Structure 1
Amino acid sequence: MSDGISDDAEDVVGVLTERIEARFALGMDQLKAAVTAAPTANPDATDVVKWHGLLVQAQSVLDHAEDDLLAVLETQPSEVDDPTMGLADLVDAAVTTRDGRAMVVRWLLDPDAPGKTGLAAERLARLRPRTGPAVQTSAPHRPAATPAPSAAAWRAGRLAR
């Protein structure tokens, strides 16, 4: 941004992008394509790509909120009115969101981060999405020698009870 409010904040996205690219030895576009092609192949890469996308989105929202606030401030007299304060609150919320997402990306990139070893890591692993169905989704296989009961036999068995 040319306005100077968050030039250093934009660097946060750039720095984290560089760290991601160095960690996975791929550019972001290549990494996104690899994750899209095989989302379960590397859960760490999938998580990083997801959160990096959320970070970039949050930075975009922040940029627009800052632009809106600056446009209003340029036309304001010395006193700031309630609608302008509302825009300032939106900028503040956008900064908080962006910073939170940046913290998640940093945590994902740090193999020694708290919660990534021991009991906390085991619990985290259980929260990861499963790669297959949690329950059997097809009928059980019957050996060829055991015929399935007919509807008449089933009814006869139910009536005999």
Structure 2
Amino acid sequence: MSDDISGGTEDVVGVLTQQIEAHFGMGFDGLKAAVDAAPTAHPTATVVVKWHGLLLESQAALDQAEDDLLTALQSQPSEVDDPTLDLAHRVDAAVTARDGRAMVIRWLLDPHAPGQQDATERLARGRRQGPAVPTSAPPRPATAPQAGKGVLR
């Protein structure tokens, strides 16, 4: 993209790809082929390749959102309308998603990062340790308070 709104962050994918290649000592295409051939052989590589794919998806979404915003801004009069403002919010959300995925990759590549000891293997297996957070609504009382007999405030 030639008119990049985000400035110097446009090559986040390229920088992380180089870091991945240096970490594993091979080109990314070779790493992806090795992971595809034996996904359980190296859990960290498998997880990194997965997150790299997610990073590519989020970068593509960001590029599209930036292109859409730039097009809208070029056709705007002096004031920005609500649809254009919505496009700006979409760019912001896409940057957040891309940067979050980039942070995960950086964390995965750092063997000394907090919590890194066995987390990569858990991510590769797709399992958590410990109970899941409850997602159902809390139980409601069997009877509703009667009018005039509620809690005093």
**Interval containing the TM-score (normalised by the shorter chain):** 0.7 to 0.9
Shift of 1:48: 0.4
Shift of 1:128: 4.3
Q: Residue 24 in 1 paired to residue 24 in 2?
A: yes
Partner of 1:44 in structure 2? 44
Q: Residue 78 in 1 paired to residue 67 in 2?
A: no
Structure 2 matches for 1:8-157, cutoff 5 A?
8-117=8-117, 121=118, 125-126=121-122, 128-129=124-125
Structure with higher RCO (Cα < 8 A, 6+ apart): 2
Partner deviation per Cα, 1:45-92 (whole Å, 9 max, x = no partner): 000000011001100100000000000100100100000011111001
Q: Which runs of 5+ in 2 are unaligned?
A: 127-153
Partners of 2:54 and 2:101 within 8 A in 1: yes
Partner deviation per Cα, 1:132-155 (whole Å, 9 max, x = no partner): xxxxxxxxxxxxxxxxxxxxxxxx
Query: Hey, what's the Cα distance between the residues in 2 that align with 1:88 and 1:63?
Result: 12
Shift of 1:10: 2.2
Query: Hey, what's the Cα distance between the residues in 2 that align with 1:102 and 1:124?
Result: 15
For the pair shown, the structure with the greater C-alpha radius of gyration is 1
Alignment coverage as a number of residue pairs: 126
Q: Which runs of 5+ in 1 are unaligned?
A: 131-161
For the aligned residue pairs, the C-alpha RMSD in angstroms reads 1.7
Question: What amino acid does structure 2 have at the position aligned with 1:129?
Answer: R
Name segments (4+ residues, structure 1) moved above 2 Å: 123-128
| SS of residue in 2 equivalent to 1:77 | coil
The percent of aligned pairs where both chains have the same amino acid is: 67
